[in-house]
């Protein structure tokens, strides 16, 4: 039996929220950025043919020299950020080099996330990349990293609405693929038709 993460009850209905174990990796979507992960964590990112066989003496050397090699390989890199991974009773990633992602024991730098000039021009249908457009592309990059982090961390959910008939719970509706543990903002409420359940969930 699946573990219920959250349950909300009103007079004649029940809302149950579960972890969505069948959710797609967000890297299978139509993304702007490219996730270039290396080593044993390569499968977390996008498929790529970049294999520099890097063996640097320190984490800082990996970041600095790895960035140089990535830029050489992908030619027209517009934005690049190192991706750090923290692994302790779970796994999470971030582009921010701060605790716990700078912990010397349970963290490491696993690759880079990039946006190329050609992809920006293609996705936004422009010939010239302005500063404002570059800032927008960076926000999209950060959002894609955060979404992948939610997926890796197991913060993907699905819900089921059951109606109570003569004391028994009967399936009424369900949907999955909601990323993030804030159920008031992760999109679940947009798919629940009964406003009473929505208000009860927000108040819970």
Residues of the chain with pLDDT under 50: none
Identify the pLDDT of residue 132.
Answer: 97
Identify the pLDDT of residue 50.
Answer: 77
- Structure token digits, residue 103: 């912990």
Identify the pLDDT of residue 102.
Answer: 87
Peptide bond into 100 cis (omega under 30): yes
Identify the pLDDT of residue 40.
Answer: 80
Dist. CA 112–CA 118, nearest whole Å: 18
Identify the pLDDT of residue 148.
Answer: 96
Identify the pLDDT of residue 1.
Answer: 62
Identify the pLDDT of residue 12.
Answer: 95
pTM of the complete model: 0.88
Dist. CA 74–CA 37, nearest whole Å: 14
Sheet containing 107-116, strands listed edge to edge, beginning at the edge strand earlier in sequence = 34-37, 107-116, 77-87, 91-94
Identify the pLDDT of residue 77.
Answer: 96
Going from N- to C-terminal start, the domains of the chain cover 4-23+155-203, 26-152
Identify the pLDDT of residue 101.
Answer: 87
Chain segment 137-179, per-residue pLDDT in tens: 999 999 999 999 999 999 999 999 999 999 899 999 999 999 9
Sheet containing 4-9, strands listed edge to edge, beginning at the edge strand earlier in sequence = 4-9, 13-19, 156-165, 168-179
């Amino acid at each position: 039996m699946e573990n219920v993460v959250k349950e909300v009850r009103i007079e004649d209905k029940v809302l149950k929220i579960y972890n969505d174990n069948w959710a797609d990796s967000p890297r299978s979507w139509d993304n702007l950025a490219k996730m270039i992960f290396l080593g044993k964590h390569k499968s977390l990112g996008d498929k790529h043919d970049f294999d520099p066989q890097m063996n640097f003496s320190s984490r800082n050397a990996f970041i600095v020299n790895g960035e140089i090699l990535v830029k050489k390989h992908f030619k027209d890199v517009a934005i690049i950020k190192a991706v750090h991974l923290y692994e302790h009773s779970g796994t999470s990633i971030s582009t921010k080099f701060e605790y716990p992602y700078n912990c010397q024991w349970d963290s490491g730098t696993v690759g880079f996330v990039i946006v190329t000039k050609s992809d920006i021009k293609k996705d936004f249908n422009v010939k010239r990349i302005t500063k404002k457009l570059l800032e927008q592309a960076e926000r999209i990059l950060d959002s894609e990293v955060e979404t992948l982090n939610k997926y890796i961390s197991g913060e993907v959910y699905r819900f089921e609405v059951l109606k109570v008939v003569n004391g028994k719970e009967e399936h009424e509706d369900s949907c999955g693929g909601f990323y993030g543990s804030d159920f008031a903002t992760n999109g679940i409420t947009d798919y629940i038709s009964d406003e009473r359940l929505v208000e009860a969930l927000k108040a819970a």
